[in-house]
Structure 1
Amino acid sequence: MSDRPLVSIIINNCNYDCYIGEAIESALNQTYPDLEVIVVDDGSIDNSREVIARYRDRIIPVLKENEGQSSAFNAGFTIAKGDIICFLDADDIALVEKVSEVVSVFKDNPDIGWCFHSLKVMDMKTGELLKRVHRDNAYITVTEQTKQERSQKCDFRASMLEQGKVNFIIPPTSGLCFTRSLLKQIFPLPQYKAHKTSADRCLKFSAIALSPGFFLDQELTIQRVHDNNAYTARGDRQQYMARSILIMANWMRVRFPELSKFTNKSFAKGLSIYWRTGGVEASAKELVKKYLASISILERLEISLRAFYYTLKMWGR
């Protein structure tokens, strides 16, 4: 990597016209000079494209039909030229020093393929800072300073390969940065018309399975929680999460078969969520059928027992 590598910031947007301008401004106002800003609009029907057009001489716009977040990521990566790729959701804001800090981490650790950092989470109604409750992927208001993880180099490859698990809470899209060389091993991401968000799950779990990385305990992005969040505002959030897990398990099983222990455990987790929330929805039944058809009878039995265990564990919490 050169002393001043080119950095690509890929912003994915769909119907966030009231937020996208601030996201673009935050990307353009970085203290790090060598960057390109790619804005992928995934078929917005609001005024997003009018907002994006105001920046056309300063950004690289990609205007496409609505096919989902994975499709937007794929389109952005296809034209990105940076040695380092950072992702930013259209309703989030990157702090001005973000790219400089991330570049420093990659330069100091030339063997890593990813750098994930902490985020500030803000309630747009109240302006209060929140913290994520990872059990349900929900949020509560921060009432006191919580102990944070220390910045550190990480390598989860062995635990994902041998135990099929990783004891690491990975930040969402706007906290994810990668080397171009690592993303070449992962892209393109799977596209499902019935499931158009949460594409970061495939991206981040594949990355930590393939390469060592670095967790940077600095809050370099503001994640804004509001009534129109594509994921957090969903009434069927649990089933939506289960479906995204099944998509990831199916895709990673084919793409990285050596990670079968991880994909089997992930599949069991997704199945257990469905069991607790009324059963597998129609749009996910094909995913269940496809995965079970690809594994042995012994693996199916193990998955059923594990899903049953996860269900009892969640009911008894």
Structure 2
Amino acid sequence: MQKLPLVSILVNNYNYGHFLAEAINSALNQTYSPIEVIVVDDGSTDNSRSIIESYEQKIIPILKENGGQATAFNVGFAASRGDIICFLDADDLFEPHKIEKIVQIFEQHSEVGWCFHPLTYIGDQIDAEALKTKTGAEGIYDLRESIKQGKLNGKLPFGTATSAICFKRELLEKILPMPVAIRITSDDYIKYLALGLKPGFILLQKLAIQRIHGNNAFTFKTDTDKVNLRISIVCLTAYWIKTNFPEFQKFSNNMLALAIILSLRYRNKNEENNQLIKDYLASIPIITKMEIYLRATYYLLKL
């Protein structure tokens, strides 16, 4: 009989002790086997570590000093052994049949390296638009040329969050470890690079649940908070994609153009963001700078 692939579920946690047990249980109670559940605690100061200890040998615990989400992804992946890797935020849940379905997709389509799916949202302050049924085509997506040309807009039927992204190990080995400076919403860096490196599969089934509870890093934040955070995410993602994967510089250039126009429009004074923009611009030829500013002007007209 053909050996079933081991699936690693990487749970990243920081001070979500009141959600953590449900997240771990949703990972352990999958209809598929074999799995390993790796829980990375990023220096929590609540009761998270006592909860993790209570699972004993059922999980692989990693207790580390606080360093941000990127460090949690890096150490979790380094400790994993799975052929397939699925990420789970500690305040979210997997549907019981998620891993079974993901393995099925990867087994049926050997050419794909990633699989993304939409989420079910529960909690307060949920945007009605997010509750609409996802539309679009389910199947294989090859967006490698789109990323190289910096033209991703409209190519995917929905946005994705950490708990909705899954990868083959051989693809993640090309991306991780990732820069530790990307402390929050680190999945953007991973997702965009995955799109550029390998074809993948879009599922339209909601295989995970995202909690909306007022303390989410990004989803359903108020306009001001969301814009400020978005600028930081775009700056960091653009800077490090250009640094580590120069073949995707057209894509990172367009991301930087968006960061520039958002910073100007919303008068963002974050020094780290401004320095990243300066460093990026200082490292490229004048003609490329002109292209970025032209793209920024285009975004300004669209906003």
TM-score range, shorter chain: over 0.9
Q: What do the CA deviations read for 1:274-307 (whole angstroms, capped 9, x no partner)?
A: 1121134212122111111111101111111211
How many residue pairs end up in the alignment?
298
Q: Which residue of 1 aligns with 2:55?
A: 55
1:158 to 1:125, Cα distance in 2 relative to 1, 3 A: closer
Does residue 249 of structure 1 match 2:238?
Answer: yes
Deviation at 1:308, TM superposition (A): 2.3
Residue 136 of structure 1 corresponds to none
| Contact persistence 2:115–2:166 (CA under 8 A) | yes
Range with greater deviation from structure 2 (300-309 or 198-207): 300-309
Partner of 1:35: 35
Does the aligned pair in 2 maintain the 1:164–1:259 contact within 8 Å?
A: no
Mean CA deviation greater in 272-281 or 54-63: 272-281
Whether the 8 Å CA contact 2:150–2:254 is kept in 1: the answer is no
From 292, 301, 307, the counterpart of 2:296: 307
1:209 to 196, 214, 219: 196
SS of residue matched to 2:117: strand
User: 1:157 aligned to 2:139?
Assistant: no
Alpha-carbon distance in structure 2 between the residues aligned to 1:239 and 1:284: 10
- Could you say which residue in structure 1 is the equivalent of 2:170? 181
Deviation, structure 1 residue 256: 1.3
Q: Whole-Å Cα distance in 2 between the matches of residues 206 and 163 of structure 1?
A: 12
**Residues 237 and 94 of structure 1: CA distance in aligned 2, closer, same or farther (over 3 Å):** same
Task: Tell me, in whole angstroms, the C-alpha distance in 2 between the residues paired with 1:75 and 1:207.
Answer: 19
CA RMSD of aligned residues (A): 1.7
Q: Alpha-carbon deviation of 1:141?
A: 6.1
Distance 1:282 1:163, change over 3 A: closer
CA distance in 2, matches of 1:95, 1:164: 33
Question: Counting helix residues as a fraction of each chain, which structure ranks higher?
Answer: 2
| Cα distance change of structure 1 residues 20 and 256 upon mapping to structure 2, 3 Å threshold | same
2:243 and 2:57 mapped to 1: Cα distance? 41
Q: Secondary structure at the match of 1:93?
A: strand
The answer to whether the 8 A contact 1:38-1:62 is kept is: yes
What is the CA-CA distance between 1:196 and the residue it aligns to?
2.4
2:128 corresponds in structure 1 to 140
Structure-2-length-normalised TM-score: 0.93
Shift in Å at residue 218 of structure 1?
0.5
Gap runs ≥5 in structure 1: 131-138
2:188 and 2:237 in contact (8 A); partners too: yes
* 1:182-197 equivalent positions in 2, closer than 5 A: 182-192=171-181, 196-197=183-184
* Structure 1 position 282 matched with structure 2 position 243: no
Describe the SS at the equivalent of 1:61.
strand
- TM-score, reference length from structure 1: 0.89
Asked if structure 2 preserves the Cα contact closer than 8 Å seen for 1:69 and 1:196, the reply is yes
Q: Deviations over 1:226-280 (max 9, x none)?
A: 1121334575221211111111111111211111111100111111111121134
Number of the residue aligned with 2:250: 261
C-alpha contact 1:275 1:311 (8 A) present in aligned 2: no
Partner of 1:134: none
Q: Give identity over the alignment, percent.
A: 43
3-state SS in 2 of match to 1:217: coil
Unpaired runs of 5+ residues, structure 2, are none
Verify the 8 A CA contact 2:118 2:203 in the aligned structure 1: yes
Q: Report the equivalent of 1:110.
A: 110
The residue type equivalent to 1:228 in the other structure is: N
- 2:227: which partner in 1? 238
Q: Secondary structure at the match of 1:285?
A: helix
